[in-house]
Amino acid sequence: MHPKLPHTCSTLLSRQFAFLHFSHDLQRNVSSRPRCTTGAAAKYLFAMGIVLFAQGTLANGNYMSMTLEQLLNVKVHSAAKKTESLGDSSAAIYAITSADIERAGVTTIPDALRMVPGVEVAQADSNSWAISIRGFNGTLANKLLVLVDGRTIYNPVFGGVLWEAHELMLEDIERIEVIRGPGGSLWGANAVNGVINITTKHTRDTQGTLISAVAGDEEKGTLNARQGGVFGARGTYRVYAKGFKRDSALRPDMGTGSPADNYDEWDGYRGGFRMDWADEFTLQGDAYRTDAQQLRPDFSFTAPTTIEQQTIIYEGANLLGRWTDKKWKGPTFSMQAYVDWNRRDEPFNFIDDRTTVDLEAQYDFVSTERHAVIVGAGARWLFDDREGNRNVEFTPQEDDYAVYNAFVQDKITLVPERWFLTLGTKLEHNDFSGYELQPNARLQWLINNDQSLWTAISHAVRTPTPIEEDLTSTLITAPGIRVAFVPNDDVASEELTAYEVGYRHQFTSDFSVDLAAFYNDYDKLSTIRIGDPELINNGADPLHFLVPVQFVNNMYGHTRGAEITSGWTITPTLQVSASYSYLYMSLTSDDEDREAAERLSPRHRASARVYWDIREHIMLGTTISYADRLPASDVDSYVRLDLNLGVELSDNVRFNLVGQNLLDPAHREFGTIDDLNAAEIERSIFAKLTWQFR
């Protein structure tokens, strides 16, 4: 039996979508197992998705008292990089507010993202998730840009987001804006299939003291503390601290003899501050550390490969400042700068120690009768030290590289209050692929006060990473043989041309529908190529054959699909919502059959939510969701039920009892059954107590 791939490399291969084909050839085929189709549940949720949808509610006040007309006027920023109402946006955008997070009873950002139509959220084990938009899912999904208060948390070395390192304090989140579709013309490279922008609350909204504690069978313990106050004539601030510990997921019986318990426990802590001078200047910072347990192979030419448990340590700190100069009925000028240091220590692979310095500026011109123009520019410098070992090496180990960009966008009024054309583009230069141009055109028709139609054509790119260009990494060793990644300086950017259309209709003040459809044309997708064996006699290692594996741009294809969301405010105390998304993928490789990506994202997804204020101080939040099977990794379809019962014990104390994944004891959501860290996500029940006073 061949040893399993190391976690870093296996997730990279999974991300490149050739992993399953490659690893199954070299390891063992996954035996077929009976699948539970849950067809009745899927049909039921699909029917609800056609007719029901609820947008997010405001962060404060009585959530259920808002009409859908008010909800569509919730202000968002991400789609146009300026404030506009959600209903006026010419993009497939969805806003999760702090009230949504509270009512859902979630404890992590990934679980909050399960609310968003078209977003694929699958938990791989206790401390890692696969999250993407409109396909190409993986634990390092590289076509999704994620930001926190304008600071990117997309990892430029791994290519993707390491969600286990960003365990934010959810009580401080104002909203999570999700753009489904390209955002490269405003946000730059890697915003290919979507953008997630997490915005925290202004400190004037977090005054006083808040303490919350969570405990349960899987949630072993979480403690959050926050203190907010004022300083000077116009200043407000907050400081916070958070610590958490989560149990390991259920390990399938694989008969490998490797550790079966506590192999993926997860714990960590973080703290930080934010200071606001009115709406003009913000200074904020965070520091954190997380410890994630995983199993890893320790390769050797002379002895059998052993499976060891290791602790992956991720730590970091950041400091961000933002200044906004807004004139009354005049232009707006804003500048933002941040420094971000993080270090990921993965003992059997390598240490990534990186510092990022980022500076950007934006100018919003005074809107005229016909034009609303914004321009901006930015620069980012990265200083990276990637220390490897005998199995992993980067050439060069230390590297400095920079990204420069400039963008312009104009929203043109073709017919006042009816027709609008938005044109924009971003020019970006990076040290890996050179200049990249990402244009965008959007046409919007406000049919009447209750209906709007929009369409868009966009171009976006995903730039190469040091792992694709500079990595040498062992995948498998056997007597006289080493299979390993080797560098390739010719990797190019992946490219997308996207075609979108959307329709919104508010039938009544209590009922609305939002529909988006897309066709995405991809070129130069990254996959891997296995080269011819080479005899290696370097004097350091035993004489052996090297089987080289390189990242190459030899896959192309298209995806198409649709997402529908709708909602109904039945009474001021009862809201029902649901969504349905469909995805079809067709990919082709010039080399061999590497189209595993087609089978790593569910074709059908659906969800329904009910928010009910049972009595004045008692609420119930219910979410039921369906995910279609993943043939490539032999993951069955599943239905997930989450419940959150909240009781206000007093004006200052709230108690929540939450159950997650209540329909079955455990199920897999992502990853192959023969993966070293394969996990089944277990049923979880926990309690939360929140104490808040000014």
Per residue in 274-308, pLDDT tens?
A: 999 999 999 999 999 999 888 877 766 666 677 77
Q: Is 471 in a helix, a strand, or coil?
A: strand
Phi, psi of 126 (to 5 degrees): -60, -30
Between 1 and 316, residue with greater pLDDT: 316
DSSP string, 44-102: HHHHHHHH-------SSS-GGG--HHHHTT-EE-TTTTS-EEGGG-SSEEEEEEHHHHH
Share of the chain above pLDDT 70, in %: 84
Lowest mean pLDDT among 166-170, 182-186, 332-336, 562-566: 182-186
Q: Check residue 327 and report its DSSP letter.
A: -
| Bond before 396 cis per omega within 30 degrees | yes
Is the pLDDT at 44 greater than 50? The verdict is no
Question: In the numeric block, which tokens belong to residue 407?
Answer: 């963008």
Mean pLDDT of 83-98: 80
What distance in Å separates the CA atoms of residue 371 and residue 367, rounded to the nearest whole number?
6
User: Which residues are within 8 A (CB) of 448 and not within 5 positions of it... i.e. 6 or more apart?
Assistant: none
Q: What is the mean pLDDT of residues 137-147?
A: 91
pLDDT of residue 328: 76
User: Do the Cβ atoms of 189 and 197 come closer than 8 Å?
Assistant: no
Q: Where are the beta strands (DSSP E) in 531-617?
A: 534-536, 544-571, 574-589, 604-615
Q: Which CA distances in Å does 252 have to 29, 213, 674?
A: 17, 31, 9
Lowest average pLDDT, out of 24-38, 355-369, 380-394, 644-658, goes to 24-38
pLDDT band for 309, please (50, 70, 90 cuts). Answer: confident
The β-bridge partners of 660 are 684
Residue 654 φ/ψ, nearest 5 degrees = -130, 140
Q: Which residues pair with 358 in a beta bridge?
A: 338, 380
Residue 389 CA to its chain's centroid (Å): 30
Residue 183 confidence (pLDDT) above 50: yes
The CA–CA distances, whole Å, from 542 to 138, 390, 480 equal 35, 13, 8
The tokens for 690 are 């929140």
Separation of alpha carbons 103 and 59, rounded Å = 11
Mean pLDDT of 509-518: 92
Distance CA 455, CA 460 (A): 16
- Among 54-63, 78-87, 336-345, the range with the most confident prediction by mean pLDDT is 336-345
What average pLDDT does the segment 104-126 reach? 91
φ, ψ dihedrals at 167, nearest 5° = -90, 85
Mean predicted confidence (pLDDT) in 87-113:
88
**pLDDT tens digits along 383-435:** 999 888 777 888 888 899 999 999 999 999 999 999 999 999 999 999 988 99
In angstroms, rounded to a whole number, what is the distance separating the alpha carbons of residues 46 and 645? 26
Tally Cβ neighbours within 10 Å of residue 45: 23
Instruction: Report whether CATH 3.40.630.30 matches the domain 7-693.
Output: no
Residues 436 and 460: beta-carbon distance below 8 Å = no
Classify burial at 310, counting beta carbons within 10 Å of its beta carbon; exposed 0-12, middle 13-18, buried 19 or more.
Answer: middle
Structure confidence at residue 326 (pLDDT) = 84
> How many C-beta atoms lie closer than 10 Å to residue 539's C-beta?
5
**Residue 624: which residues within 8 A CB-CB, separation 6 or more?**
41, 45, 607, 608, 609, 639, 640, 641, 642
Question: What percentage of the chain's residues is helix, strand, coil (to nearest 5)?
Answer: 10, 55, 30
Dump pLDDT digits (tens) for 440-468.
999 999 998 889 999 999 999 999 999 99
> How distant, in Å, are the alpha carbons of 461, 588, 627, 635, 683 from that of 523?
10, 10, 28, 28, 41
Is it the case that residue 539 has pLDDT exceeding 80?
Answer: no
Strand partners, 189: none
Residue 422 token pair: 């938005």
Q: Assess whether pLDDT exceeds 70 at residue 17.
A: no
Extract the tokens encoding 446. Answer: 């406000």
End-to-end CA distance of the chain: 62
How is the chain split into domains, by residue range? 7-693
| HSE (side-chain half, CA atoms, 13 Å) at 559 | 28
Give me the pLDDT at residue 623, please.
Answer: 93
Q: Give the chain's mean pLDDT.
A: 84
Bridge-based pairing state of the strands 544-571 and 481-485? parallel
Average pLDDT over residues 233-247: 95
What is d(CA 165, CA 127) in angstroms, rounded to the nearest whole number?
Answer: 9
